[in-house]
Amino acid sequence: MLDLRTVTERLDETRAALARRGFTDAPALDRLGALAVARRDAIVDVEALRHRRNVASEAMAQVADKRSAEFAARRDELRAVGAEIKALEARQSEAERELTDLLARIPNLPDESVPSGSGEADNVELRVFGERPRFPHEPRDHVDLGVGLGILDFERAAKLSGARFVVLRGLGARLERALIQLMLDLHVDEHGYTEMWVPTLVKDTALHGTGQLPKFAADLFRIAKDAQWEREAEAGGHELFLIPTAEVPLTNLHAGEILDAGDLPVAYTAYTACFRSEAGSYGKDTRGMIRQHQFDKVELVRFVRPDDALAELERLTGHAEAVLQRLGLCYRVVELCAGDLGFSSKKTYDLEVWLPGQNAYREISSCSWFGDFQARRLKARFRPAPDDKPQLVHTLNGSGLAVGRTLVAILEQYQLPDGSVRVPPALRPYLGGLDTLRPPG
């Protein structure tokens, strides 16, 4: 969420910055200004009245005889004031409700350093790590390889859960587990992250905090246990969502808190399953395990001082890259242009791994700096110095990495002509020293 005061005071700048990322809802921004004025006026009025009531109430407390005519007269007068206050409060909360609804749907402002552009084609390749493997044969994709090795089973997954799920078998399942282990070890032991284990079912408030709601409800799986729960949810009671990423629980960990400056940066990592309904993506990546309703991910989240934020983004991105480097996977770093930025992000680097089977780079990690956008929604603050006022922290996160896609990349980049797959050396200790996955028989 953007800061109302800043937006209204610098409407033109805000408009221009939002236009860069393709958000051009002029009426919404104009309405914001009008609402801000209406809100302030309502506050001034209601507070003046409340002041009057408080003063009068205090005087009433002094009246010894509560049954006197004087007391009754004052009471009757104040009764009217009370009603008026109620009406003004309604006016204020109406303006505030509309204001926050509006504000909650406005995306973050891209950082100045973010390149202009309207979509994926305008993203900027910053660097390439490693070399694309060359094959003496036509490279196969992970589906052929995985099914051939007997480690991926899409048909049985469909039997259980429908499209966009996978079953990992034998060494496939173990490979997945080994990757999780390697990633967590790296981030904890070498990058200084605190490992966390968090719920994968969260309340809607958590999703508001990181920005998935209210705008992207269609991408989420919502849990309605039964008809009664459904009704309670309507009434503001139970309602839980499967997390689309561990960013949600990890970032919400410090919602409503004031952190000590000395504790920053706070760095968390967690492995979780992630769930996405990807409602808008029918027909995209239908083959294989590139886009699944359920997938594993190791996530990195950092809470930092605003001054350090840009350097922190580089650091975080480096941590995610370290996984790919450790595994010897060829990838590139791409900076998203303004038009391709996620809703809450100020600046994002995508790591794209080379997939020989697709003859393309595909996203395997997305590292973003959110400025105070999430922190404002979360009310996550820190106190710069003991006597200072609390200030919003900056949040960052990145995948470190998407485990399923990492498995895909290993299968495709390390494939051999006979359909077997070499195991990256760094991973071998996690697989009992195994150096090659071979087809059965």
Binding mask 87-116 for RNA (x = CB under 7 A): ------x-----------------------
Q: Tell me if residue 276 is catalytic.
A: yes
Residue 235 binds RNA (CB under 7 A): yes
Residue 50 binds RNA (CB under 7 A): yes
Compare residues 213 and 408 and give the one whose CB is closer to RNA: 213
**Minimum CB distance to RNA, residue 82 (Å):** 3
Residue 132 binds RNA (CB under 7 A): no
Closest CA to 190 of 369, 305, 370, 325: 325
Strands (E), 94-161: 124-129, 152-153
Residue 236 binds RNA (CB under 7 A): yes
Strands (E), 323-440: 331-335, 347-355, 360-369, 381-383, 391-392, 394-402, 421-422, 436-437
Q: Tell me if residue 31 is catalytic.
A: no
Residues 6 or more apart from 264 whose CB is under 8 A from it? 303, 304, 305, 308, 382, 393
- Which one of residues 48, 124, 126, 173 is an interface residue with RNA (CB under 7 A)? 48
Residue 387 binds RNA (CB under 7 A): yes
CA 199, 201, 207, 210 torsion-angle sign: positive
One of 291, 305, 332, 428 is an active-site residue; which one? 291
Q: Please list, residue by residue across 317-349, b when 16 or more beta carbons sit within 10 angstroms of its beta carbon and e when fewer do.
A: bebbbbbbebbbbbbbbbbbbbbbbbbbbbbbb
Residue 81 binds RNA (CB under 7 A): yes
The sheet carrying 201-203 orders its strands as: 201-203, 240-242, 222-223
For 268, other C-beta atoms within 10 Å of its C-beta total: 22
- Which one of residues 12, 61, 138, 432 is an interface residue with RNA (CB under 7 A)? 61
Closest CA to 400 of 296, 319, 333: 319
According to CB under 7 A, which residues from 346 to 385 bind RNA? 381, 384
One of 21, 140, 276, 315 is an active-site residue; which one? 276
Which of these ranges, 71-79, 104-112, 259-267, 401-409, lies near RNA under the rule CB under 7 A?
71-79
Q: Tell me if residue 291 is catalytic.
A: yes
**Minimum CB distance to RNA, residue 162 (Å):** 25
Residue 194 binds RNA (CB under 7 A): no
Q: Tokens 């992970």 correspond to what residue?
A: 142
Closest CA to 263 of 316, 317, 305, 313: 305
Residue 238: exposure state from Cβ atoms within 10 A (0-12, 13-18, ≥19): middle
According to CB under 7 A, which residues from 244 to 263 bind RNA? 258
Residue 426 binds RNA (CB under 7 A): no
Residue 222 binds RNA (CB under 7 A): no
Residues that bind RNA (CB under 7 A): 4-5, 39-40, 43-44, 47-48, 50-51, 53-58, 60-61, 66, 75, 78-79, 81-82, 86, 93, 232, 235-238, 258, 381, 384, 386-390
Catalytically active residues are 276, 291, 363, 366, 405
